[in-house]
Structure 1
Amino acid sequence: MGWRNQTAVTEFILHGFPRIPQLQISLFVLLFVVYLVTLTGNILMIVVIWLDYRLHTPMYLFLINLSFIETSFISLLVPKILVDFMSEEKTITFNGCMAQCYFYFLMGTTDFFLLATMSYDRYVAICHPLHYPAIMTNMLCVKLVLGCWAVSSFLLLPPIIMLSRLPFCGPKVINHFFCDSSTLLTLACTNTDFIKLINLVISIVAVVGPLLLIVVSYMYIINTILRIPSVHGRNKAFSTCASHLSIVTISFGSAIFIEIRPTGKKSTDLDKLVHLVSSILAPLLNPFIYTLRNEKVKEALRDTLNRILTL
């Protein structure tokens, strides 16, 4: 297949959600408020962890990166959705569409790998507590985070390059609220089976791989916790994993639901709704889950706010 850049399409039209005039303003305000709360919560988490030396440990360095990913992830979608809510023509340039598609899946894939890395951190902390400081050093933490970003970047680069070089002859309407790769492939006027196969392999590597690591880690963690003699000790150990498990359930649950659905039923209103909820829910809940269940973060947050108020 000679995939030269023959595209006659310079921009796409995002179909978005069905227009409901009575709810248009209400949905805009709701989404805008959710976006502001999400940005405020995650940025505050980053600032608090960055400023408080007590939180300069691997677990919280992972959390800084998680908050950065969640902030970037929701910022890729919501501002454009808000603009489209109030616009008659929901257009996006060809290059803008390819960039949004790449960074959307880059953030999602890095998020999965980072959650798997955090499960390994919890495994070492609970199953090998005496060796934890020697194993999970800040340098190893940095290397693991950089590894998550590097693997995700190189994993997603080939399919997005091939996608950008496909000939799109029209129609140019994307039946989604963002540039989803599977929806874009249906608009190409050439055979896309090879790219679909690559996307399937990448989905398995990016979703199933990290999920298996998380499952195996928690099998060892649960086995170790159940052997702790005191109830207080077991509860304390479980509480250190509860926040992480909550985010894992939301992130992987929505991804698996979207991927296992039949191809013919993709890009329906239900699919869009699941994409929207999964794209918003995890970033929105992330700072609250880790703050409300973590005494160290709450204490650091109080101290930081007191410092700001004093200044």
Structure 2
Amino acid sequence: MEMINGTAVQEFILEGFPAVQHLGKVLFLVHLRAYLGSITGNMVIITFTWADHPLETPMFVLLSYFSFCKCFFITTVVPKLLSIFLLGRQTIPFIACVIQAFSFLYLGSTIAFFRGVMFVDWYLATCNPLHYSTITNLRVCVLCWVLCYTLSFIFIIGLAMKVSQLSFCGPNVIPHFFCDIGLLTHLSCSNTHSFETYVFFIAIFVILISLLIAIITYSHIVVTIVHLPSTMEQQKAFCTCSFYHMILSLMYSSCVFIYLKPKQTNRLDSNREAALVNTVVTPLLNPVIYTLRNKQVHQALKGTLSRVKLQK
């Protein structure tokens, strides 16, 4: 209520992509297919993990938690983007904009932490297979899941407290397709220097910690692969690593570009394309990379299809 009482702005206007708005229906279909593909792929991971007992291993349990969070993450942004493309509905109520901004940050930071956990799990499975089952179990997976959500919640509470002290008296046009917290603060008529500094340091902590874990574990995994006795095993492992490397490069480069670059209000438009990578491209690639190249998932899929045929 403090935010509502401290501002005269009742709604914001999301610009979306004005340069290509005349292609709205085409872009609507493209992004709708990507959104449905992402949701379907992640739901398949969740379903197979918990419906097929052989997949109830720590690795796949972590992956199902990650997919669950990913579904909510893209749902905070993409539906509004679709309505902009199809219906031209660019307005969003003040409170809905604030909720979208914090939901995006909360789920995004949770995903970043969880990706670091998954890299540690991958490292243990690859580099310490003999001790993997003793170190990692379902209880550890649940604890990691709770820890990731808790850390993100602590950061978001701090941001919410600072935003509650800002006032919004106009203008109300956000040059983006969703309510980005950085652009939202540019519209405030309050002094936002301390808030922007706080957001910047949180971004550094969340992104760089996750990136550092990824680099360290990925390096050890590559070294382990190099020492594999079979050339064929090395080729298969490097092929899988190349897919992981591609999606990580897309995700971290876009995050660094958006959140860790110096303040440049004259280059806000470029953030939209970078944000599309995180909200549309990588969520669509995640299920493909994590499941289609996994033999256990193939076997589970074949088993499910065979059971369906028998029932018919």
TM-score by length of structure 1 reads 0.91
Contact conserved, 1:77 with 1:178, CA < 8 A, in 2? yes
Question: Runs of 4+ in structure 1 displaced over 6 angstroms?
Answer: none
Contact conserved, 1:183 with 1:267, CA < 8 A, in 2? no
Distance 2:21 2:193 in 1: 39
Show the counterpart of 1:55.
Answer: 55
Aligned length: 310
Deviation at 1:3, TM superposition (A): 8.6
Show the counterpart of 1:257.
Answer: 257
Deviation at 1:164, TM superposition (A): 3.6
Show the counterpart of 2:36.
Answer: 36
Give the unaligned 5+ runs of structure 2. Answer: none
Show the counterpart of 1:126.
Answer: 126
The within-5 A match list for 1:162-241 is: 162-235=162-235, 237-238=237-238, 241=241
Show the counterpart of 2:156.
Answer: 156
Matched, 1:81 2:69: no
Deviation at 1:91, TM superposition (A): 1.4
SS at match of 1:188: coil
Distance 1:239 1:117 in 2: 22
Show the counterpart of 2:116.
Answer: 116
- Structure 1 residues 253 and 260, CA gap change in structure 2 (3 angstroms): same
Deviation at 1:307, TM superposition (A): 3.1
- Structure 1 residues 308 and 13, CA gap change in structure 2 (3 angstroms): farther
SS at match of 1:92: strand
The residue type paired with residue 13 of structure 2 is I
SS at match of 1:263: coil
Show the counterpart of 2:72.
Answer: 72
Show the counterpart of 1:299.
Answer: 299
Contact conserved, 1:7 with 1:165, CA < 8 A, in 2? no
Question: Which stretch shows the higher mean deviation, 6-15 or 265-274?
Answer: 265-274
Question: Which stretch shows the higher mean deviation, 36-45 or 205-214?
Answer: 36-45
For the aligned residue pairs, the C-alpha RMSD in angstroms reads 2.2
The residue type paired with residue 216 of structure 1 is I
SS at match of 2:84: helix
TM-score by length of structure 2 reads 0.91
Distance 2:79 2:158 in 1: 27
Give the unaligned 5+ runs of structure 1. Answer: none
Question: Which stretch shows the higher mean deviation, 237-246 or 17-26?
Answer: 237-246
Matched, 1:9 2:9: yes
Contact conserved, 1:3 with 1:162, CA < 8 A, in 2? no
SS at match of 1:86: helix
Show the counterpart of 1:27.
Answer: 27
Distance 2:15 2:112 in 1: 28
Contact conserved, 1:254 with 1:274, CA < 8 A, in 2? yes
The residue type paired with residue 119 of structure 2 is S
Deviation at 1:263, TM superposition (A): 1.8
Distance 1:5 1:267 in 2: 32
Distance 1:273 1:108 in 2: 17
Deviation at 1:59, TM superposition (A): 0.8
Show the counterpart of 2:46.
Answer: 46
The residue type paired with residue 268 of structure 1 is L
- Percent identity over the alignment? 37
- Structure 1 residues 37 and 21, CA gap change in structure 2 (3 angstroms): same
Deviation at 1:40, TM superposition (A): 1.4
Question: Which stretch shows the higher mean deviation, 7-16 or 56-65?
Answer: 7-16
The residue type paired with residue 168 of structure 1 is F
Question: Which stretch shows the higher mean deviation, 254-263 or 173-182?
Answer: 254-263
Contact conserved, 1:61 with 1:141, CA < 8 A, in 2? yes
